[in-house]
Amino acid sequence: MRKLLYISLALMLMVCFMSCSHSVDKRLVLADTLMWTNPDSSLAILERINRDSLQGEENRAYHALLITQAQFRCNGNCTSDSLINIALDYYSDNHNRELYTRSLLYKGSFYEVHDNPIEAIKCYKNAEDNADSTDYRNLAQINFRMGMLYYNNYASNNLDLNKFKMAVHYYEILRDKKMTMTALEYCGNVLRITDIIEARKCYDKALATARELKDTSNIYNININYALMYIEDSLYLQAKKYILDAFRLNNSFEENYNYYMLSLIYTNQKNLDSAKYFISLPDKSQNTAYDSLLMYKAMKEVALCENNLSQYRIFNTQCNKISNSLEYNKTRYKLLDSEQAFDKSTKSDASISLGKKKNIISLLIGLLLLILVVFLLLYLKKKKDSNRLIDELRKEHISNYNSLREDLEKHDDDFSHIMSSQLNVFEEIMSYGYKPNKVYSDNTITHKIKAIDDSNVEFWNGLRSYLNHRYDGIIDKISKDYPILTDADINFIGLICCDFSDTAIAVCKGYRNTDSVRSRRRKIRDKMKIDGLLDIYLKELMKHNAT
């Protein structure tokens, strides 16, 4: 027992040591808590940590993930994916679902900024599929990053709009006003092509939040987006108001398309000199596809105002080329195909998983049915054995126990009450045996039969006292002469001394049939090494010790 105690204590100490050795570094926890409110401080903490000083793979993987995340939060980029790969390798086999989702998200971000949108989509979709339904921060980021990926690659089918709307939903749950504002702004950017009313609603909400946060940078951006919305709807006067409001906040434009918008506005006002001036300002080598589209559109309008139809046709052709670019469509459909392929693969995996689940469920149902059948058979056998015992008791007569009943009436203890109750059940069964015409269900008798367990110490001690008193210490003598006998053996011998039949003993001891009684009698006789029958030996002993 003492050795077992020492082993248990050693195991407990080992578990404590292991739990302590795998504790998460507090510096990493602090860096993670600052990640969204103060990413610069988070990055500074992480960069001061020597990776070799971190204990355990868990801390090193956590550090790798956090430093990648902090770099994206501060700089929007990271030069290598070696760190995020460490996190992915660790958490893919680890049960930390949130950190694995986050690792997939920033692996996708790495692919995105390094111009690999196909692999980025796969990572984002995998992260979305892995994320817990209440993991609002990661779900918001996943949907926003996917929306940006579709948006920047001019994907069709409102893929970007759907993702931005989901991002707005999750950011609102998080009460992240800044990111809600940004996601709303992008919703407006997508909607301004097809639904100017809904676009304006998104911009209005975003602008109200920007003013609440006193975020002049986003106020500027939203004003520019208002202007773009009205330009695309050929509402040049409204566009001019917003672009000038933006210019008052920042008297220089970073994006080329702002100059081309002004050119379109002044062309519409027949101010061709100003229109040509603004077209000439940007560095055209820095044009994006969208910048070039607006530039050629402005140049086309200028040529039209000058009645230069040949130039108009040239610029119009350039507009159409950009709009219908093969690369544009190719990129668009690749992204869509990638998402659909992932969804199809996920559904296939889900179908396989469902098939396995169905097989497991079928197996469990079959096993349950088998267990129920076994229990039913056991119940029926027990009931059959019980009925057989009742039938055998009916053949006996209660007068066999009259002497015992008379002696019990002289005592008032637990033993006498329990034994009298048992004899009453015997009498009821035996009396029924002589009334074959009486309608009497066996169940009403069966439920009255109760085995007297060996753990009922008071009853068995009472039985021993009764027999010792009646037969001059017979039980004490047997216990002393045959120490090999167990308490259960002595209890069994006590019932024989009460002149109980095999059937009565089976009922009292809770045996299923009288075969068990005969088997137990032989085992006790062998222990006592008696020549002849145990019952005869005991009767001779009782006769000799009778008082």
**Residue type at 40 in one-letter notation:** D
Q: What is the pLDDT of residue 421?
A: 79
Q: Cα–Cα distance between 132 and 109 in angstroms, integer?
A: 20
Q: Cα–Cα distance between 32 and 43 in angstroms, integer?
A: 10
Average pLDDT rounded to a whole number, residues 217-224: 90
- Which two three-digit tokens encode residue 541? 């002993």
Q: Cα–Cα distance between 121 and 106 in angstroms, integer?
A: 12
Q: Cα–Cα distance between 448 and 464 in angstroms, integer?
A: 25
Average pLDDT rounded to a whole number, residues 166-184: 94
Nearest to 414 by CA among 466, 452, 462: 462
Q: Cα–Cα distance between 125 and 129 in angstroms, integer?
A: 6
CATH of 22-260 among 1.20.1250.20, 1.25.40.10, 3.40.50.10470, 3.40.50.1580: 1.25.40.10
Asked if residue 21 has pLDDT above 50, the reply is no
Q: What is the pLDDT of residue 357?
A: 66
Q: What is the pTM of this model?
A: 0.56
Q: Cα–Cα distance between 435 and 431 in angstroms, integer?
A: 7
Q: Residues in the chain, how many?
A: 547
Average pLDDT rounded to a whole number, residues 217-221: 90
Angle ∠(393,395,396) on CA atoms, nearest 5: 70
What are the pLDDT digits (tens) for 67-99?
999 999 898 888 888 999 999 999 988 678 999
More confident residue, 10 or 250: 250
Residue 6: band (very low, low, confident or very high) from pLDDT cuts 50, 70, 90: very low
For the chain, domain boundaries? 22-260, 398-545
Q: What is the pLDDT of residue 426?
A: 75
**Mean confidence (pLDDT) of the chain:** 81
Residue 2: band (very low, low, confident or very high) from pLDDT cuts 50, 70, 90: very low
What DSSP state is assigned to residue 23? P
Question: 494 near 520, Cβ under 8 Å?
Answer: no
The percent of residues in the chain predicted with pLDDT above 70, rounded, is 83
Name the phi and psi angles at 3, rounded to 5. Answer: -60, -40
Q: Cα–Cα distance between 535 and 493 in angstroms, integer?
A: 9
Q: What is the pLDDT of residue 284?
A: 87
Please state whether 530 falls in left (phi above 0), alpha (psi between -120 and 50) or beta.
beta
Q: What is the pLDDT of residue 19?
A: 44
What are the pLDDT digits (tens) for 328-361?
554 554 565 656 565 555 555 555 555 566 678 8
Nearest to 114 by CA among 123, 127, 101: 123
What are the pLDDT digits (tens) for 476-493?
888 888 889 998 888 888
Asked if residue 450 has pLDDT above 80, the reply is no
The percent of residues in the chain predicted with pLDDT above 90, rounded, is 23
Question: 212 near 177, Cβ under 8 Å?
Answer: yes
Asked if residue 398 has pLDDT above 80, the reply is no
Asked if residue 209 has pLDDT above 90, the reply is yes
Q: What is the pLDDT of residue 334?
A: 58
Q: What is the pLDDT of residue 383?
A: 65
Q: Cα–Cα distance between 101 and 94 in angstroms, integer?
A: 11
Q: Cα–Cα distance between 547 and 545 in angstroms, integer?
A: 6
More confident residue, 224 or 384: 224
Q: What is the dihedral of CA 343, 349, 354, 360, to 10 degrees?
A: -160
What DSSP state is assigned to residue 102? H
Asked if residue 297 has pLDDT above 50, the reply is yes
Residue 505: band (very low, low, confident or very high) from pLDDT cuts 50, 70, 90: confident
Instruction: Give Cα separations from 185 to 36, 111, 280 (angstroms).
Output: 20, 24, 29
Q: What is the pLDDT of residue 9?
A: 47
Assign 3-state DSSP to the chain and report helix, strand, coil percentages, each to 5. 80, 0, 20
Name the phi and psi angles at 432, rounded to 5. Answer: -65, -30
Q: What is the pLDDT of residue 16?
A: 46
Instruction: Give Cα separations from 84 to 27, 47, 135, 148 (angstroms).
Output: 19, 15, 20, 21
Please state whether 283 falls in left (phi above 0), alpha (psi between -120 and 50) or beta.
beta
Residue 154: band (very low, low, confident or very high) from pLDDT cuts 50, 70, 90: low
More confident residue, 54 or 382: 54
What DSSP state is assigned to residue 365? H
Q: What is the pLDDT of residue 180?
A: 95
- Which two three-digit tokens encode residue 243? 């672009």
Is the sign of the CA dihedral 302, 305, 306, 309 positive or negative? positive
Q: Cα–Cα distance between 26 and 59 in angstroms, integer?
A: 10
Q: Over the Cα atoms of the chain, what is R_g?
A: 46
Q: What is the pLDDT of residue 176?
A: 93
Instruction: Tell me if residue 438 falls in helix, strand or coil.
Output: coil
Question: 229 near 188, Cβ under 8 Å?
Answer: yes
Q: Cα–Cα distance between 154 and 190 in angstroms, integer?
A: 10
Q: What is the pLDDT of residue 11?
A: 46
Question: 84 near 69, Cβ under 8 Å?
Answer: no
Nearest to 242 by CA among 223, 257, 225: 223
Residues 6+ apart with CB under 8 A from 529: none
Q: Quick count: other Cβ atoms within 10 Å of Cβ 2? A: 6
What are the pLDDT digits (tens) for 399-447?
777 777 777 777 777 777 878 877 777 777 776 654 444 444 555 555 5
Question: 130 near 156, Cβ under 8 Å?
Answer: no
Question: 205 near 187, Cβ under 8 Å?
Answer: no
Nearest to 399 by CA among 426, 438, 436, 433: 426
Instruction: Give Cα separations from 22 to 33, 247, 387, 541 (angstroms).
Output: 20, 55, 63, 73
